[in-house]
Each structure stands twice: as structure tokens, then as C-alpha cells.
Chain A
Amino acid sequence: MMYHMVKPCSDSGAFIAEPMHKIKLDMSLCEQIFKDNGYTIKFSSKVILLIEDTIEYPEVGIYPSGKLLFKSTDHEVVSRMFESLKPLLKNCICVS
């Protein structure tokens, strides 16, 4: 699963990771998988899943397209968190 990381604009307070190929996530499955792996689900809907890990990591928005929005401007922290999310995301894909 290949992603590229972008900062949407210079004054954005977030990083976005987007899949390089079109995928679709099963949002209900996604919620279950992240819950089972100890993440706090802050909000769940068919358009976004908002999760939180620990105080060390920022909140992350997960979209059905596979896009991830990290609420942080710290590239290092975001990259570390991204690596920990990737294996779980693989299991959420319903269309690739």
C-alpha cells in the first residue's frame, strides 16, 4: 500500500497522507479494527473516522478514500504514527 505525504498549504496545521492508487475503506470494519487495537474512537461516520492513540500522537482523521489527516505539523511524529497505522489500514480495504 503506497502513500505520499503532503502538507496541504503553508499555513495548514495538518499533514495529509494520500494513497497513490485508488482504494476504498470499509468504514465499519475500520472502526472495529482500530478499536480492537486499542485506539480511542473519537467519532465514527460513513465520511470520517476520527481516532486517537496516545497523548504522544496527534488525532487522525481516516476517510473512505484511504486519505489520512494528521492534526500535527511535526513531520517526524506524523511519520512514526503513519507507520503504526499502515498495517491496520491494509485490513480495512474493501476495494483496491
Chain B
Amino acid sequence: MVAADSRDIEPENITILISVHLYRITMKYSVVVLLSAGIDSPVAAHMLAESGAHVTLLHMDTRPFTDDRTMENVRSLVKKLREYHPEMAGYSAGFGEMEKAIAQNANPRYQCILCKRNMYRAASKFAIEIGADAIATGESLGQVASQTLSNLVEEDAAVDIPVHRPLIGLDKNDVIEIGREIGTYELSIQPAVCCMLTPKGPKLSCKKDDVLKEEDKLDWGGLIEDLVFEPIGER
């Protein structure tokens, strides 16, 4: 973002600009950003923090369906983001048991949407614990199966807390460009195992009743209740 030269600003606009800056400084809007080891979510976290929000990062650790390198990449990303936003804390929670429960009980085509709904629930629980106002993700429209408009609607429906998506309308190349500028892109593309449970033919458009029917096959409430949120240490 290029700041306007103060000499170009009309006097009547100065009050507005000061108000905007004061708002950014004083507002206490707090957001939990779901951080993967990918390209998008670190950019989303950075953008929200740049806009003045107090960001706390939360990584859902899906081992054994990813690997240790994923966690290493997440640690590096947290460290990099903290160079810009030293107050930004990072946490992780084991999500492997939830992934197992979905894989063992639900129709495989619903794996991604059920995974996302429960990640939102986990983030919502964490947000309530730390007093945050909202959760946020790095999702943009239509990029993968879980990010079609109808699936996003069903994912939002899992939680009562607002879900922000600062990248929703951005082109992937624009996100990559921002990632390169802030130095997260190179960390995001380090070798790691992508989720091993992604089905061949995931549901692109889910009906609410079908989602609930599949979700009823697992004790998601108990699994969310058991989650432990641990600080991500820097190495």
C-alpha cells in the first residue's frame, strides 16, 4: 500500500484520515486466523493484522495424515509473521482424531466439508476461550472443493461466530505476490505431505440435510471438547 503524500490531501479530508488511523489504533477487534502450512492463510493473517485487527494464529495439526515437515513449515510461518507483527501468537491443536472419525464413519465425499466445519468449531471454541470476536481463514472462492459458494455457506453454518475471509475475491496470483512480498511464500512451498484424506470426488455442492446426516455419524462434540490448544514454539 502506498501512502498518499500529505501535501496532496485536501484539508477537509484530514479529519477523516485521522479518524481512520485513530480507529485502527484504538479498536480491539480480535480475530483467530486458521493457519495451514499453505500459501493463502499466512497472507490472510498478515492482511488482517495490517488492517488493525489483533490476530492470533491457530493451526489444526492433522498428523498422521500430513507429516512432521508440515508442522515445521507452520513454525517457520509463525516466526516470519511475527517479524511484522510481534504481538501475533501462534497455537496448534491436534486434529488427527477428528480426521480419523470422519474417515471411519462418514461418506468419503463429505470428508473435506466435515473437516472444515469442525475446524471452524475448533477455532470458534478457541476464540471464545481467548475472548476473540471472530475467526478468519485464507479461503478464496472456488479454489478447491471446500471453497465453492454452497460449501462455504454450509461451513459457516457450523458456527455462531463471524467468519472472515479477507482473500475471498482475490486472484491466486495476487495472493502469491503478497506472499512473496512478505516472505511467507517461500516457506509455504517447502516440501510437505498434503492431506492424505482428500477424496477423489469431493462434494462440490452440499445440501444442509445431507451434511447434517453425515455429521451425525460421528461424535464431533466430544472430539471438539477434548481439543487442547498449545502455543507453537519457535525453533
Contact = CB atoms under 8 A, between A and B. Distances in A.
Interface of A: 8, 11-14, 42-43, 45-48, 50, 59, 61, 65, 69, 71, 73
Contacts, number: 46
26 contacts: A11-B189, A11-B191, A11-B192, A13-B70, A13-B191, A13-B192, A14-B193, A43-B64, A43-B103, A45-B100, A45-B103, A45-B104, A46-B108, A47-B103, A47-B197, A48-B103, A48-B197, A50-B64, A50-B65, A59-B64, A59-B67, A61-B196, A65-B200, A69-B193, A71-B67, A71-B193
Given A13-B67, A50-B64, 5 more contacts: A12-B192, A13-B193, A43-B100, A61-B196, A65-B200
Counting contact residues on chain B (CB < 8 A from A), the size range is 20 to 34
Nearest to A69: B196
A31 B197 CA distance: 17
Interface in B70-118: 70, 100, 103-104, 108, 111
B189 to A, nearest CB: 4
A27 to B, nearest CB: 11
- Please give me the 5 A-B residue pairs with the lowest Cβ-Cβ distance, nearest first: A13-B191, A11-B189, A13-B192, A45-B103, A45-B104
Question: For the complex, would chain B's binding face be called helix, strand, loop or mixed by DSSP majority?
Answer: loop
The listed residue with most B CB atoms (<10 A of its CB), out of A14, A45, A47, is A47
A73 B103 contact: no
Given A42-B64, A50-B64, A12 B197 contact: no
B69 interface: yes
Interface in B161-195: 189-194
Nearest to B67: A71
